[in-house]
Structure 1
C-alpha cells in the first residue's frame, strides 16, 4: 500500500517566540517535508490573531517555493469569501508561472478570524456573491479569459500559466462536501477542527456519492488531522495533553471553532450575539511511531481517504521535527 502525506503549518507564535522565529520555523518545516518525501506543504490564513504569524498565505507560499525545489506548496486555505476571485487568480497565476506544477490553491469557507477582521477585510466590497459563484469565476480566471456571459467579458488574470494552480476545497461540514462534489474539486476535511467522526464520515461519503464526474475528474479525499509522534507513549501524551478545541454556537445559528473559551467570548462580543460553547480535549493521534502507524491505518480504513495532511502543534521545535521524522520512519518505503 502506498500513502501520500502532507503538512499543514499554522505558523504559531509560541510563548517566548517572535513572529519572525515562527515564520522561520515554517520555512524549516517545508524543507524538512521535502527531504522526508512528503507530497505537499500547506500554510494557513489567520487574521487579527496575535498568536499566529500566517496572515497572508500567498506571500508565504512565494517564499517557500523559493526555499524548496520539488515539494508542492499551497494554501490551507485562502478565505475566498473576503476577496475578489480576480485578484486571487492573479496571485496564484504568478505563483504557478514561477513554479509550474508545484502550486496548490486550497479554498477555505471559514472567516479565518474574528468578526472585526472580517469587517476590515470586506471593507468597501460593493457586490455580494456566494462562494460557489466566486469559485466558478476563480477557476475560469486561473485557466482562461472570462466568457462572453461575464459582466467583464474577456478579462484575463495575467499571466496565464502553463500549469495553473490546482484548486482544493477545505471544509468541516456536509455542505462543504456537497460544494466540492458539485465543482469536481479534491476535498480536504479538517478533522483537527471538527473532530466529530460521524460528520466526517457523512461528509466524505456525500462527496463521493455526489461527485460530478461529468467534468472529467475523479474524486480525491484528504483528511487533515492532528498528529504527535514521539519516542515514548508518555512523552506523546504529555505533548498532546493541554490542547483544547471549542465550538461556538451563536444565537443566529452560525457555528465556529476557536481555540479557547476566551476566544469564544471575544468572537460573540464582536458579533454582538449571545452564544453557547462546548469545550473538549483536542482529538490528537498520538504515541510512538508504531502506535501512530496503527491508528492512521485504522483511520484510513474508517474513512476511506486517499491522503493525509498533518498538523502538529508542539512548542518545542526539535520535538516537532522529531514527530515528522518518526512518521516517515513509521511508513518507510510506503510514501509515494
Structure 2
C-alpha cells in the first residue's frame, strides 16, 4: 500500500462487561495491532460517559507503551481547552523520554463530554474555551523549546527534554482546522467519521497541502470489514450519528440521542437533535481497501486511522484483522 494504517480505539463499554475488562480489551487490541503491522494506535478522551472507558489518554498511552515494543501510541486526542499546555507538554515529554520515537500527541478542540463535565474539568480556573489557537501555539512552542523572547513565559522549558520529540497532530473536521495545522507546521488528522461532507474534506486537504506540502495528512474513517459484504452491511446499518444543534450555532456530534438531549439541556440554550446514518465504509477486506485507495487518490492522504464503531469486541477485532497491513499484504501475494 502507498499509505499507512492506524487504529483509533475509544475503549467502548459493553453491557455486562466490567471497566477493568473493557480496558484489558484495549490492551489486547494494541498488541494485535502491533502484530498485524499497524503504524499507530490512538486512544480517545471522553468524560462522564457510561459508553466509553477512555477518559485519560495520557495515562492509558503510558500503559500501552509499556505493553508494546514498536507500534506508535498516542492520544486521539487530548482536549486542550481543559488543560495547561505546559503540563501537556511535560506529560508527553516524559513519555517520549521513556519511549523515544513512539509517542504521538494528538490535540482536539472538542470538550470530550457534556457541559457538566466541562465545568468540572475547568473548576477553579478562568477558561472560556475561546483561546484554543493560543493554547495550541504555546504548546507547540514548548514541545520544540521555542518560546519567543517576548513571550510572558520566555525561558521556560518543558522538561525532561526527550531524545525524540513527540509528533504533534491537530485533530479536526474543518477547513479552519486544516489551515491552523498548516500555519503551525504540525500534522493534521481530518475526522471524516464526524464530518462526511466530501467538499469540506476536499477543501481541507487542499488547504493543508497548499500551505504545508511536507506535512503529514491523515484521514480518520469509520470502517467495518467482514467475511461477506452482506454481513458488513448489516453491522454498518445499525450505526447512527447524532448531532445536537444549539441556538448559538454550535453543532456537536454525540454517540446517542440520550446524550444529545442531555447536552442540550445542560447547555442552557435552545437546541435541536438530529440523527443520521453513520458514514461507514463497509464490505470485505478487498472492498474496504478499494474505498481507501480511492480516498487516497482523491485527497492524497498519507495515512488512514481506522475507527470501527461496533460494540462487539469479537467483531471489532475481526474487522481490524481483515483490514490490517499484514492480512492485506497476504491477499496481494495470493491474488
TM-score with structure 2 setting the length = 0.94
1:264-279 equivalence runs, <5 A: 264-279=260-275
- Compute the displacement of 1:134 (Å): 1.1
Report what 1:105 is aligned to.
105
- Compute the displacement of 1:313 (Å): 2.4
Deviations 1:96-152 (A, max 9, x none): 000000000000011111111111111222366722211221122223274432223
The separation in 2 between residues aligned to 1:295 and 1:143, in whole angstroms, is: 37
The separation in 2 between residues aligned to 1:166 and 1:223, in whole angstroms, is: 16
The separation in 2 between residues aligned to 1:131 and 1:112, in whole angstroms, is: 14
- Compute the displacement of 1:243 (Å): 1.0
Q: Residue 291 of structure 1 aligns to a residue in which SS?
A: helix
The separation in 2 between residues aligned to 1:313 and 1:268, in whole angstroms, is: 24
Q: Residue 74 of structure 1 aligns to a residue in which SS?
A: strand
TM-score with structure 1 setting the length = 0.93
User: Among residues 259, 267, 284, which one is paired with 2:280 in the alignment?
Assistant: 284
Report what 2:85 is aligned to.
85
The separation in 2 between residues aligned to 1:59 and 1:271, in whole angstroms, is: 29
After alignment, is 323-332 or 287-296 more displaced?
323-332
Report what 1:195 is aligned to.
196
Deviations 1:310-330 (A, max 9, x none): 011232222222211211223
The separation in 2 between residues aligned to 1:303 and 1:46, in whole angstroms, is: 29
The separation in 1 between residues aligned to 2:143 and 2:286, in whole angstroms, is: 42
The separation in 2 between residues aligned to 1:24 and 1:192, in whole angstroms, is: 25
2:115 is aligned with 1:95: no
2:220 is aligned with 1:224: yes
After alignment, is 27-36 or 139-148 more displaced?
139-148
After alignment, is 316-325 or 54-63 more displaced?
316-325
The separation in 2 between residues aligned to 1:254 and 1:79, in whole angstroms, is: 17
User: Among residues 316, 319, 322, which one is paired with 1:320 in the alignment?
Assistant: 316
Contact 2:3 2:301 in 1 (8 A): no
Deviations 1:152-195 (A, max 9, x none): 33222211111111110000111111111111111100011111
Report what 1:167 is aligned to.
168
Report what 2:137 is aligned to.
136
Report what 1:34 is aligned to.
34
Contact 1:245 1:280 in 2 (8 A): yes
Q: Residue 73 of structure 2 aligns to a residue in which SS?
A: strand
Report what 1:66 is aligned to.
66
User: Among residues 253, 258, 274, which one is paired with 2:254 in the alignment?
Assistant: 258
- Compute the displacement of 1:19 (Å): 1.3
Which ranges of structure 2 fall in alignment gaps of 5 or more residues? none
Contact 1:145 1:157 in 2 (8 A): no
2:297 is aligned with 1:301: yes
User: Among residues 314, 321, 328, which one is paired with 1:330 in the alignment?
Assistant: 328
Cα RMSD for the two superposed structures: 1.7
The separation in 2 between residues aligned to 1:278 and 1:19, in whole angstroms, is: 30
The separation in 1 between residues aligned to 2:310 and 2:221, in whole angstroms, is: 14
The separation in 2 between residues aligned to 1:200 and 1:165, in whole angstroms, is: 26
Which ranges of structure 1 fall in alignment gaps of 5 or more residues? none
Contact 1:188 1:223 in 2 (8 A): yes
Contact 1:186 1:220 in 2 (8 A): yes
The separation in 1 between residues aligned to 2:192 and 2:44, in whole angstroms, is: 15
Aligned length: 329
The separation in 2 between residues aligned to 1:184 and 1:228, in whole angstroms, is: 32
Q: Residue 205 of structure 1 aligns to a residue in which SS?
A: helix
1:147 to 1:298, Cα distance in 2 relative to 1, 3 A: closer
1:2-41 equivalence runs, <5 A: 2-41=2-41
Report what 1:234 is aligned to.
230
